[in-house]
Amino acid sequence: MKNADSADCKSPRARKLKTESDNCLAIAIRERDSEVAALLIDEAAKLARRSKELATKG
C-alpha cells in the first residue's frame, strides 16, 4: 500500500495539499487558542486525506 509521502510525486496537487496539511499542523501546534488549534487540525486532516486520495489514483 502506498502512502501520500511516497506516491505524491505522481501528482503535484497531492504534494501541494500535503504541504498545506503540514503547514496547518505546524500552526496548530503553536496556537494558544484550543478552538482555533482544533479547527486547524481538522483542516489538516481533510487536506491530508485528499492528498492521499489524489496520490493513490492512477
Angle, helices 12-30 vs 34-56, to 10°: value is 160
pLDDT at position 57, please?
83
Dump pLDDT digits (tens) for 1-42. Answer: 345 455 445 789 999 999 999 999 999 999 999 999 999 999
How many independent structural domains does the chain possess? 1
Q: Average pLDDT for residues 33-58, to the nearest whole number?
A: 94
Q: Domain range spanning residue 46? A: 4-56
Q: Using an 8 Å Cβ cutoff, are 30 and 40 in contact?
A: no
The pLDDT score that the predictor gives to residue 58 is 55
Cβ distance 12 to 4 under 8 Å? no
Write out the three cell numbers for 14.
497531492
Residue 10: what pLDDT? 72
pLDDT of residue 18: 96
pLDDT of amino acid 9: 57
The radius of gyration of the chain's CA atoms, rounded to the nearest angstrom, is 12
